[in-house]
Chains A and B, each alone.
Chain A
């Protein structure tokens, strides 16, 4: 199983992480639209890490199965956590400096989206899937 871990410590790592996501999507045969969706979702999630937690990690995994191309991304940090997850994924909600689209926007870009958060540990997992011809 192919896996890429990118440490998220400053904004250059956001660029690195989204680049790795795009590359894996391209190699697995995802089209430009899915490549852009995944790269953008990774960009949003890793920026959240820097903004709210300071640092974290982004792990991009090729989770393809027979007949299905699939990429899973896990973005993890040890920051304060998300107090109210339902509220955080509501359109228009943001506690940051008005970046806005944030989690609800990201959720709309991917096929799988899951948040597990408690004080000191947050994991956001996303996935995109494509049936192979």
Chain B
């Protein structure tokens, strides 16, 4: 299952809208990094509004992807997490630590813009 990654001027937008297998998640991670590099984007917003399960594997993938994007020299914001997903992650002891998050896409883009400004 391919997740589309859209370019909008100097940033990228993507929304995980299907239930990913572990392989899909790893492919998504590789695609994000490749797109950031190829488009020379300054940052990416990853929307997870549609995800009703984020288990320890997916949490790790999201954490790592954000770190990898930063390592490449861009910024990453994860937005739209459902309340029940946040609750489950914290109960499991699997918070998304060190990852920039926002409540929804709109605030996600605003936050990304601020992060990009802060870097320049």
Contact = CB atoms under 8 A, between A and B. Distances in A.
A74 interface: no
Contacts of B55: 18, 40, 43-44, 47, 101
Contacts of A101: 55-56, 59, 92-94
A1 to B, nearest CB: 25
B99 interface: no
B56 A105 contact: yes
Contacts of B21: 11-12, 14-15
Interface stretch (B6-14, B31-39, B70-78, B82-90): B82-90
- Tell me whether chain B's interface is mostly helix, strand or loop, or mixed: helix
Contacts of B94: 100-101, 105
B58 to A, nearest CB: 8
Nearest to A39: B53
Interface residues of A, number: 28
B52 interface: yes
A22 B51 CA distance: 13
B52 A36 contact: yes
A99 B94 CA distance: 10
Given A12-B21, A36-B52, A36-B53, A105 B84 contact: no
A131 interface: no
Interface centre among B23, B85, B88 (most CB of A within 10 A): B88
Interface string B29-73: 000000000000000000000001111110110000000000000
Nearest to A106: B92
Interface string A85-106: 0000001000000111110111
B110 interface: no
B4 to A, nearest CB: 20
Contact of A32 (B19, B23, B56, B82): B82
A15 B91 CA distance: 21
A100 B52 contact: no
A18 B21 CA distance: 11
A37 interface: yes
In the A-B complex, the 3 residue pairs with the smallest Cβ-Cβ separation, listed nearest first, are: A105-B92, A101-B56, A36-B84
Given A18-B55, A40-B55, A47-B57, 5 more contacts: A35-B84, A36-B53, A39-B53, A40-B53, A109-B91
